[in-house]
């Protein structure tokens, strides 16, 4: 199994003293086989190692997982069908198999003279579609469905692969569907210990052909006597829970004095340090439930306001380029331009003292390039007595009817005060929204 990058972490450029940035890392990384479902196989006999517990990550994700198989397994779990179920077949070096039979109340049934009544089939649901894939191979520690000769015949029975059985089970009868894998070597301990138990050929004695290779927990095996439930390898419970499919960590941060990092529930938070400028390279690692991992790197640039503004598209209403849009400079320049003023008559008394565009040619060039943005009412043309007037009124703080009365063209597509204000404000890059309130 593997972890994949589904979207590269993008480099970030922010303003000095910017607010924290939060990134959902699950949008960048994925384990394509699972959504984080884990099955816990709890043996009644905890002496078989690891407290009798084997945890298995289930491959339920659409696409590369086996969602039909996992849903089928969960149905049996939720119905309680696997409570007191047993491992009824053990072939050392190959598989141990369960999910087909339960044992409960053997001692009582022996007293009643009906011992076989304590052994029951797991009630089965309709068989399911075979979801074998060579990307989910029958290697050691995997959980797969048992079935008969028909390809789509699996129901309740499953097996753990004790060794790499890919050459056999991946190629036999269109392959056996792997739908899970143990989380760790510790989870293999009970499985391996089950395979080391003595095996009884009990098909005749128990009137069940499937019990030809039955593992048992017995102190004396020369003359075996089955008289309690605990003689069988029995699961007291099999449950399924959902956990995070990936864990994330910050492998490195080249400049923690510029930005610090934290990760909670898959969300990376970047906290920019006060009054610091510079660059940081950050490496993030994503690790799946099986311990496979992948890294991705991105760069954070923190700039001062002047440098940051240089990376932004110019505000089409900031005609003189001083970083502000004012009624008596930019608004007047727009109205004069729309009335056809040129040369000194265009700019006289209308260019701010701190302007970066000051000459007639600079102002006219910018006005001509921005003219399509002056169509405020959306009728397809920019007019002095409609669009120009709306811009100037807005810059003077007019709202409601006082903003639009007599200034909206008859063929306008934006006609309300709210529409006009939203459009004008939308022409400006929302720089202030990127600044913390104390800047």
| Alpha-helical runs (H) found in 137-285 | 166-169, 185-195
Q: Which residues contact 203 (CB under 8 A, 6 or more apart)?
A: 209, 210, 211, 212
Q: Which residues contact 418 (CB under 8 A, 6 or more apart)?
A: none
Residues of the chain with CATH 2.60.40.10: 4-30+245-308
Q: Which residues contact 192 (CB under 8 A, 6 or more apart)?
A: 49, 162
Side-chain half-sphere exposure of 390, counting CA atoms within 13 A: 31
Q: Which residues contact 426 (CB under 8 A, 6 or more apart)?
A: none
pTM here is: 0.71
In this structure, the strands spanning 85-91 and 158-161 are unpaired
Q: What single DSSP character describes residue 311?
A: T
Task: Quote the tokens at residue 334.
Answer: 């727009």
- Average pLDDT for 205-215: 93
- Average pLDDT for 148-172: 96
Task: Quote the tokens at residue 115.
Answer: 């011992």
CATH topology (fold) of 4-30+245-308: Immunoglobulin-like (2.60.40)
Closest-CA residue to 7 (of 22, 20, 26, 21): 26
Query: For a pLDDT cut of 70, what percent of the chain falls above it?
Result: 95
Rounded Cα gap, residues 82 and 102, in angstroms: 7
Q: What single DSSP character describes residue 275?
A: T
Tell me the per-residue pLDDT of 162-207, one tens digit each, with 9 for 90 and over: 999 999 999 999 999 999 999 999 999 999 999 999 999 999 989 9
Q: Please tell me whether residue 11 adopts helix, strand or coil conformation.
A: coil
Tell me the per-residue pLDDT of 252-303, one tens digit each, with 9 for 90 and over: 999 999 999 999 999 999 999 999 999 999 999 999 999 999 999 999 999 8
Output Rg (C-alpha) for the chain, integer angstroms.
36
Average model confidence (pLDDT) across the chain: 92
Rounded Cα gap, residues 333 and 319, in angstroms: 7
Q: Is the pLDDT of residue 137 over 50?
A: yes
In this structure, the strands spanning 85-91 and 234-242 are antiparallel
> Residue 433: what are its φ and ψ, rounded to 5°?
-70, -20
Rounded to the nearest 5 degrees, what angle is found at the Cα of 353, between the Cα atoms of 348 and 354?
A: 130
Tell me the per-residue pLDDT of 90-128, one tens digit each, with 9 for 90 and over: 999 999 999 999 999 999 999 999 989 999 999 999 999
CATH 2.40.100.10 for domain 37-242, yes or no, is yes
Residues of the chain with CATH 2.40.100.10: 37-242
Tell me the per-residue pLDDT of 44-67, one tens digit each, with 9 for 90 and over: 999 999 999 999 999 999 999 999
């Amino acid at each position: 199994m593997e972890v994949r990058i589904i979207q590269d972490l993008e480099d970030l450029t922010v303003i000095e003293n910017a607010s924290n940035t939060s990134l959902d890392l699950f949008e960048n990384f994925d384990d394509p086989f699972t959504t984080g479902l884990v099955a816990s196989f709890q043996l009644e006999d905890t002496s078989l190692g690891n407290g009798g517990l084997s945890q298995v990550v289930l491959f339920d994700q659409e696409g590369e997982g086996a969602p039909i198989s996992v849903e089928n397994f969960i149905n049996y779990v939720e119905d309680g069908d696997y409570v007191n179920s047993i491992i009824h077949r053990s072939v050392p070096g190959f598989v141990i198999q369960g999910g087909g039979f339960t044992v409960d109340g053997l001692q009582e049934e022996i007293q009643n003279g009906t011992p076989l009544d304590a052994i029951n089939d797991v009630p089965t649901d309709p068989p399911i579609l075979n979801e074998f894939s060579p990307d989910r191979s029958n290697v050691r520690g995997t959980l797969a469905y048992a079935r008969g000769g028909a390809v789509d015949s699996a129901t309740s029975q499953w097996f753990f692969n004790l060794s790499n059985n890919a050459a056999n089970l991946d190629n036999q009868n269109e392959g056996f569907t792997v739908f899970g894998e143990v989380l760790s070597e510790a989870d293999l301990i009970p499985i391996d210990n089950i395979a080391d138990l003595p095996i009884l050929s009990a098909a005749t004695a128990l009137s069940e052909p499937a019990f030809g290779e039955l593992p048992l927990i017995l102190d004396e095996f020369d003359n075996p006597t089955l008289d309690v439930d605990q003689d069988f390898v029995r699961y007291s419970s099999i449950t399924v829970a959902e956990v995070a499919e990936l864990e994330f960590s910050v492998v490195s941060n080249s400049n923690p004095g510029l930005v610090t990092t934290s990760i909670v529930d898959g969300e990376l938070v970047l906290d920019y340090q006060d009054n610091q400028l510079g660059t940081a390279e950050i490496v993030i690692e994503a690790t799946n439930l099986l311990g496979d991992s992948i890294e991705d790197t991105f760069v954070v640039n923190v700039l001062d306001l002047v440098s940051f503004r240089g990376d932004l598209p110019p505000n089409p209403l900031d005609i003189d380029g001083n970083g502000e849009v004012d009624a008596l400079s930019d608004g007047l320049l727009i109205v004069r331009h729309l009335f056809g003023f040129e040369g000194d008559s265009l700019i006289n008394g209308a260019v701010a003292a701190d302007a970066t565009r000051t000459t007639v040619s600079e102002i006219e060039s910018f006005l001509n390039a921005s003219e399509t943005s002056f169509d405020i009412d959306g009728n397809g043309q920019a007019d002095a007595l409609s669009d120009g007037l709306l811009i100037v009124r807005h810059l003077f703080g007019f709202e409601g009817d006082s903003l639009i009365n007599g200034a909206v063209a008859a063929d306008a597509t934006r006609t309300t005060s709210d529409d006009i204000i939203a459009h004008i404000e939308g022409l400006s890059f929302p720089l202030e929204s990127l600044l913390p309130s104390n800047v």
